Amino acid sequence: MTTSLGGLLSPSLVNGGASGLRDLLIDEVNAMLRYLVSSGKILPNHIYATAEAFTIERQDREKVKKAEGAEYVFKTEGLLDIEPLTTIHGMLSEMVAPALPRSIVLLDASSGTPSPFNWISTVPLLRRLMFVAIISLIGFVGLALSPDVNPDGGDLFTSHGLPLLVNLLFFIASAGLGASFSTLFQANQYIIQGTFDTKYETSYWIRLLVGIMAGLILACLIPLDPATIKQLNGLGQPMLALLGGFSASLVHRILNLFVDALEGAVKKMANAFVDTSAKK
């Protein structure tokens, strides 16, 4: 059952024909049409006719706006009834689901924006995340060539100075690889599904930063048996850093276990103290 936006919006917005709302609907309808047509979907002919009529109307309004300049005032007189536009918007929204109209507009606009880095990705966020991944990869390879990177070099209590710094940077690069891999994979899934939304862009960077911190914590603060590290050819701590970066929630659960264990130990000590005081 198709739900028209005309039934969801207030009469003052729909019938009043606010310029911003009208243009938003036109942009989303055109973007969804391009998305469906390029996917090989067959649509009713009236959808094309309605979208074209409103697009032409918008072009005419833009010409008038450009001609009048600051004196331009948006008027609803002589404009097409917005109800058909909201109707086809609802129909197209159901056809592109689970993709969101806002996400389709974003991807459509990104693909049409010229950039020397479009060969990497048309989405700006993915380009920036890929640069982080490339920097992490270069740092990982470059620091791995240093003789200071060895199974004993990353110990916070036995190493110091430049060797310790090189090892810590190596762990950060390893965590950055894991975190960027996880973040890019998740963002790519949303883009494929058409549900990517820029309002969550901050959460991707938070996830990346938390992953790097989690990888560093896991590599530096989790005690490992030296014999185990040697069996892994020295890859114990870098592997922990990469795993921590890939799944920050894993480190969160581990830290929660430590907190629960510490809390239990404190409670036992307190109970023992109370029992001893009572006996006295």
pLDDT in tens, 189-220: 887 777 777 777 888 899 899 999 988 888 88
The tokens describing 76, both together, are: 């609803």
Report how far residue 211's alpha carbon sits from residue 217's, in angstroms, rounded to the nearest whole number: 10
Q: What is the pLDDT of residue 16?
A: 37
The tokens describing 265, both together, are: 């130990």
Q: What is the pLDDT of residue 229?
A: 56
- Residue 110 maps to a domain: no
Predicted TM-score (pTM) of the model is 0.62
> Are residues 134 and 258 both part of a single domain?
yes
> Are residues 151 and 92 both part of a single domain?
no
> Are residues 134 and 233 both part of a single domain?
yes
> Are residues 137 and 16 both part of a single domain?
no
> Are residues 19 and 86 both part of a single domain?
yes
Q: What is the pLDDT of residue 9?
A: 40
Q: What is the pLDDT of residue 223?
A: 63
- Residue 225 maps to a domain: yes
Query: Residue 239: CA atoms inside 13 Å, Cβ hemisphere, count?
Result: 9
Report how far residue 260's alpha carbon sits from residue 249's, in angstroms, rounded to the nearest whole number: 16
- Residue 103 maps to a domain: no
Task: Note down the domain range covering 168.
Answer: 124-266
> Can you say how many angstroms the Cα of residue 164 is from the centroid of all Cα atoms in its chain?
33
- Residue 242 maps to a domain: yes
* Residues of the chain falling short of pLDDT 50: 1-17
- Residue 239 maps to a domain: yes
Q: What is the pLDDT of residue 140?
A: 92
> Are residues 33 and 149 both part of a single domain?
no
Amino acid letter, 15: N
- How many domains does the chain contain in total? 2
Q: If phi over 0 gives left and psi between -120 and 50 gives alpha, with beta otherwise, what is residue 78?
A: left
Angle, alpha carbons 155-159-161 (nearest 5°): 135
- Residue 17 maps to a domain: yes
> Are residues 93 and 172 both part of a single domain?
no
